[in-house]
Amino acid sequence: MAVSEAERGELTRRAKAIRSGIVDVTGWAGGSHIGGALSQTDILTLLYFKYLNIDPANPEWPDRDRFILSKGHGGVGLAVTLAERGYFDPALLKDFGHSGSPFGMHLDGNKVTGVDASTGSLGHGLSMAVGLALGARVQGKAWRTYCLIGDGECNEGSIWEAAMAASHYRLDSLIGFVDRNRMMIDGATEDVMAIEPLADKWAAFGWHVQTVDGHDFGALAQAIDEAQEHAGSPSVILAQTVKGKGVDFMENDPAWHYGGLNADLIARAKASLGAE
Amino acid sequence: MSEGLTWNVYNVGDMTQREIYGLVLCELGEKYPEIVGLSADLAKSTKIGTFGDRFPERFFNVGIAEQNLFGIAAGLAKSGLIPFVSTFSAFASMRAGEFVRTDICYQNLNCKIIATHGGTSFGPAGTTHHATEDLAIVRAFANLTVVVPADPFETAHAVRASMAIDGPVYIRIGRGFEPPVYESEDYDFAIGRAVEMHPGTDVTVIACGTPVSHALQAAGLLAEQDGLSVRVLNMHTVKPIDREAVLRAVQETRRILTVEDHNVIGGLGGAVAEVIAESGKGCAFRRAGLCDEYSMIGYPEDILNRYRLDTDGIVENVREMLGVEFEEDEDWEDEV
Ligand SMILES: Cc1ncc(C[n+]2csc(CCOP(=O)(O)OP(=O)(O)O)c2C)c(N)n1
């Protein structure tokens, strides 16, 4: 399922709309985890607009593919992606984080349509993904489970407990992504708590590992295709990304892990994205 | 980067509980070379980073790994150092709960846990980042002292006072938008002793943390509007609880309301209920808090309002309690 030129244009348009939406919500909410939301956007765009076997009109469809945002603070980006995909009215996002809104910075799966797990505490998502993949096998279901993990999140021991279990159970229906933007809150991953050689670690835990440009739809799609075909073990795609991707003054700056935007900064961010 | 209504979680400009904590810890660090600091990728967010900037060789950021964080702290304490460990309350009490219990409390190690973003103070972050069960959990860890300062000044007191305790201490503070209750540090603070913030004979409001300031305002309003005499106790130490102050309040006011930014199960209200029930004394009693539910998403002031923990809510709670019947105890002196 390589990405055609027409598809690439459509995905690029969607990703831009989602990034622009993230900037809007950051303004409305008074702040968001914008850096990591922007770095993950191309992965989510490709999954939600090409790969996930889902039906926004029937969000609880039992046979749907599952997506777990293990780096739950990317919730602002997932919310905008779900709205763009038609799960709910994007106007609902104007109240993001406000009192009484269903949307918090970390999404509550009981309140927001289309969210497969309530995440936000790091290091939980991959374990739930392992459970979903096991659940598919036990019940003879064909759904795939996708899980997006932060690179800082890979510090958590529970990620590696889950990684061990996934390969132990040979869960080849499970496809993980690491948003390898090289930043966490307190600085660069390699300065705070080094995780390299990351590909070797995942391989040592029994995963099929691919390293690709996380902003290149063609490369990402090829990696997903290979992961889907790969049998006998889970796959992880180490997506090399840029924190704050698309907004020039945020790119690679850990200060934009979380931030607020006034009207002026919103205008500058939109200009940088080439969005209205 | 931020202005007006912007909720800039990680760079708050004014002097918050967390900032005061960072500064006091630096001051203690100068005096006690055995103090070391630890965090888990929340050095900036919890403000323990202030200590890390001053004493880089005595500070360890272990990455996003809370269980490891408390395990390493236990090892450092065993080596003879005094670790101050900071992360969000939800992660200190729950993610790393058993490491805190078994590595630190069970071994009775001299380790101070400064748990920030307590209760619902991290409002818009959502329920995963609220901690409305932490007091119930850590209160059940033997050897552990549990303190919930009402404001930045009290935070400074609590952090300093924790050094006098040769054992583990859990200090739960907010995110930084809590109004000050005191005007300065110039008041009598002692771990384990409640502070009477307002005298009263009709009802006693026992609170900890942010609700203390609301309780004080409620006492003022109730005096003005209802002619009620409301005692306010700042029960900053949830464990060991000040039994005497509770029992004196029972005897002298006969109506007790507890107020906490926490589930009504197991925290301050639970602790006070245990003292009252064991005394055998009759009184009207009510716990304000989250009624065994997960907290709503939103701004902290609206969350406190929703669960009736703010000034209006406390006023309502007190008024409702006035009509409550209870059995008078004949002999007050026998046990109290
Ligand atoms: C268990 C846990 N510890 C700490 C946090 C606070 N926190 C939120 S985001 C974050 C950094 C995440 O870094 P990374 O996984 O690299 O995400 P990204 O850079 O893609 O935003 C931290 C420490 C949390 N949400 N959960």
- State whether B157 and B207 are in the same domain: no
Residue B6 lies in a domain: no
Which region holds residue A140: left if phi is over 0, alpha if psi is between -120 and 50, else beta? left
Joined together, the tokens standing for residue A3 give 């990405």
Q: Average pLDDT of B102-114? A: 98
- State whether B165 and B66 are in the same domain: yes
Distance CA A189, CA A176 (A): 19
Contact A258 B6 (CB under 8 A): no
Provide the shortest C-alpha distance from residue A261 to chain B (in Å).
7
The pLDDT of residue A216: 98
CB B9 near ligand 1, within 6 Å = no
Query: Containing domain of residue B37, as a range?
Result: 11-172
Nearest in space to B174 (alpha carbons), one of B204, B146, B211, B143: B211
- CA nearest to A190 within chain B: B63
Residue B210 lies in a domain: yes
A186, A196, A253, best to mutate vs chain B, most B CBs in 10 Å: A186
- State whether B311 and B206 are in the same domain: yes
Considering only CB atoms, which chain A residues are within 8 Å of B303? Answer: 99
- State whether B102 and B207 are in the same domain: no
CB A179 near ligand 1, within 6 Å = yes
Residue B331 lies in a domain: no
Residue B184 lies in a domain: no
DSSP string, B225-253: HH---EEEEE--EEES--HHHHHHHHHHH
Chain B from 240 to 269: CB within 8 A of any A CB: none
How many C-beta atoms surround the C-beta of residue B165 within 10 A?
Answer: 14
**Whether complex ipTM tops 0.90:** yes
Is residue A242 within 8 Å of A39, Cβ to Cβ?
A: yes
Residue B262 belongs to domain with CATH number: 3.40.50.920
Contact B62 A193 (CB under 8 A): yes
How many C-beta atoms surround the C-beta of residue B187 within 10 A?
Answer: 14
Residue B16 lies in a domain: yes
Q: Which atom of ligand 1 is nearest to the CA of B42?
A: 23
- State whether B77 and B208 are in the same domain: no
For chain A, say whether B38 makes contact (Cβ under 8 Å).
Answer: no
Residue B332 lies in a domain: no
Nearest in space to A242 (alpha carbons), one of A41, A70, A72, A13: A41
Distance CA A250, CA B72 (A): 34
Domain ranges of chain A: 5-275
Q: What is the 3-state secondary structure (H, E, C) of A133-183?
A: HHHHHHCCCCCCEEEEEECHHHHCHHHHHHHHHHHHCCCCCEEEEEEECCE
Contact A258 B43 (CB under 8 A): no
Indicate the number of domains in chain B.
Answer: 2
Per-residue pLDDT of chain A (276 residues; tens, 9 = 90+): 789 999 999 999 999 999 999 999 999 999 999 999 999 999 999 999 999 999 999 999 999 999 999 999 999 999 999 999 999 999 999 999 999 999 999 999 999 999 999 999 999 999 999 999 999 999 999 999 999 999 999 999 999 999 999 999 999 999 999 999 999 999 999 999 999 999 999 999 999 999 999 999 999 999 999 999 999 999 999 999 999 999 999 999 999 999 999 999 999 999 999 997
- State whether B99 and B229 are in the same domain: no
- State whether B224 and B142 are in the same domain: no
Residue B35 belongs to domain with CATH number: 3.40.50.970
CB A32 near ligand 1, within 6 Å = no
Provide the shortest C-alpha distance from residue B297 to chain A (in Å).
6
Residue B52 lies in a domain: yes
Residue length of chain B: 336
Cis peptide, bond prior to residue A197, ω within 30 of zero: yes
Cα B253 to middle of ligand 1, angstroms: 48
Chain A from 34 to 73: CB within 8 A of any B CB: 72
Distance CA A66, CA A147 (A): 8
Say if strands B35-39 and B82-88 run parallel, antiparallel, or are unpaired.
parallel
pLDDT tens, B33-79?
999 999 999 999 999 999 999 999 999 999 999 999 999 999 999 99
CATH superfamily of A5-275: Thiamin diphosphate (ThDP)-binding fold, Pyr/PP domains (3.40.50.970)
Q: Which atom of ligand 1 is nearest to the CA of B128?
A: 25
Residue B269 lies in a domain: yes
> Rounded to two decimals, what is the model's pTM?
0.94
Provide the shortest C-alpha distance from residue B212 to chain A (in Å).
22
